[in-house]
Structures are given as structure tokens and as C-alpha cells.
Amino acid sequence: MEGLLLADKPRGWTSHDVVAALRRRFPKGTKVGHCGTLDPMATGLLILLVGRATSRAQALMGLPKVYCGRFRLGIETETGDLDGRILREAPIPPSVCALDLRQTFEKHLGEVELPIPKYSAVKFQGRPLYSYARRGVEVPERMRSSRIESFDLLSWAPPEASFRLRCSSGTYVRSIAASIGRHLGCGAALSALRREAAGPFRVERARSAEELARLDSSALEALLAPAEVPCP
């Protein structure tokens, strides 16, 4: 039993929660993994690999991603999204308008270097960064290079802006939101995020994680697709 499943992760579930729920539905000892972590507050496409297909995880993780979401201006949080403790609130400059946001978005196109959030699964000395952050232990700030292919403003209804973003794998959208907030002088944090696509795989083809978790192994096996790595 091996192959690929597309899941639509709900808000509040971790990526590990989805994997654990599916693993319980397969015969004991079946490997199940995912390609690219989504934060608990995020929803959308999660590529799942089953059996020997898990060996292709690294190649599939490198696929470019498409996200849509919202960020709220005038607030900074510990985690970079509204699930985190508020660190600072500031008034939004009255001059900020849709044009200012579009121009700020344009400054983030191409190759960008942004800090990795303290609350992330990236490891430092063998432990994920979030384990240090939860204990209040400071670690050296680490940067990550990303490529932003497109960054479009969908709507501006103060204090929130909706956007669609096409970016390279490994991009932290929370870091982009925080950078937008710094450029505008008032801070910003993600209020919603949804992964719409990873390479050619789209969330419209995915089954909800709750539905997948209710199916038995035979029904799940019937849904498995070949875990082929798309040509660039």
C-alpha cells in the first residue's frame, strides 16, 4: 500500500494531527507522512504520503506554494499570527491606503531574506525553535531566503488586508506579514491563511481531513494516487 493523498486541513489541527488520524486508519506499521507543515491556525492543502511513497517527501516538499489569507495591521504578536500573545499594538497611520499596501507588497517581490519565526519547527541544536520559545529561552535569530513570485492585494478593509501569494517552498508567510507591518510602521500579524496549491496539486482536489479520518483502510487505499514528482 503506497501513494499520495490530498487533505484539506482544518483550522485548529496541526499537520501531525492529520497524519496521526490517517495512520490509525491504515494497517499497523504503515508509514504516513506529510509534505510541508501548516501552522494550526492555517487551513488548506496538505500532501500526505503513504507507505514507500514517503521516500519522495523531500522532492515534493520543494514544490512552490500558493496561499491566500489576511493580515491585521496595528498589532504584533509573539507567534506572528493572532493565536499568539500580543506584544505591541499601534495605531494604523491614517494615510495607509490600498496603493500603499500594493507598493509595499511590490518591495517583497523576488528574492527576499526574512527571519525564521521563533515559533517554528526549524531545529536549533537538535530541538525545534518553538520548544525554546515556549520556555522563554533566547536563541540566535536565523534568516531564510525565499522567492516571492507574485503578491497581490485582494481587498483592504481596515484593519485587515486580504492577499494572494505565490512563493517558493519554505516561505514563512508570518514573517512576510511582520515585514509588511514594519514597513508601514504599525506592525501586522496573520489573521487567516489558506494553502491553495503546491506545484500542480490544488486544494480543490483534496478531501477534508475530517472525512479522510472517518474512512476505513480500503476506502483510503482506493483514493491513493501515484506519488510522482512533477517535472519542473
| 26: CB partners within 8 A, 6+ apart | 1, 32, 50, 217, 220
> What CA–CA distance (Å, rounded) separates 163 from 53?
33
Exposed, middle or buried by CB within 10 Å (0-12, 13-18, 19+), for 74? buried
231 located within any domain: no
Whether 58 is in a domain gets the answer yes
The pLDDT of residue 165 is 97
DSSP H/E element including 223: helix 217-223
Do 13 and 84 share a structural domain? no
The answer to whether residues 121 and 166 belong to one domain is yes
Would you state the pLDDT for residue 112?
Answer: 93
Q: CATH code at 47? A: 3.30.2350.10
User: What is the per-residue burial (b if ≥16 Cβ within 10 Å, else e) of 36-69?
Assistant: bebbbbbbbbbbbbbbebbebbeebebbebbbbb
Residue 30 sits in the same domain as residue 141: no
Q: 48 and 34 share a domain?
A: yes
Residues 184 and 84 in one domain: yes
> Which candidate in 8, 39, 81, 216 is catalytic?
39
Residue 230 confidence (pLDDT):
62
- Is residue 81 among the annotated active site residues? no
Determine the length of the chain: 232
pLDDT at position 128 is 83
The position carrying cell 526574512 is: 114
Q: Is residue 111 part of a domain?
A: yes
Show the domain range for 184: 65-197
Contact by Cβ (8 Å): 39, 58: no
Q: Is the domain of 79 the same as that of 147?
A: yes
Does 55 map to a domain? yes
Q: Say if residue 129 is in the same domain as residue 210.
A: no
Q: Where are the alpha helices (DSSP H) in 2-128?
A: 15-23, 57-61, 98-106
CA 229 – CA 3 distance, rounded (Å): 12
Q: Is residue 95 part of a domain?
A: yes
Same domain, 44 and 28: yes
Supply the angle between the helices 98-106 and 173-184 in degrees, to the nearest 10. Answer: 120
Tens-level pLDDT at each residue, the chain (232 residues): 889 999 999 999 999 999 999 999 998 889 999 998 899 999 999 999 999 999 988 889 999 999 999 999 999 999 999 999 999 999 999 999 999 999 999 999 999 999 888 888 788 888 888 888 888 888 888 888 999 999 999 999 999 999 999 999 989 999 999 999 999 999 999 999 999 999 999 999 999 999 999 999 999 999 999 887 665 4
> Per the structure, how many domains does the chain have?
2
- Same domain, residue pair 23 and 94: no
230 falls within a domain: no
Helical spans, DSSP H, in 62-203:
98-106, 129-134, 173-184
Instruction: Looking at the structure, tell me whether residues 154 and 176 fall in a common domain.
Output: yes
103 and 11 in one domain?
Answer: no
Contact criterion met (CB below 8 Å) for 35 and 61: yes
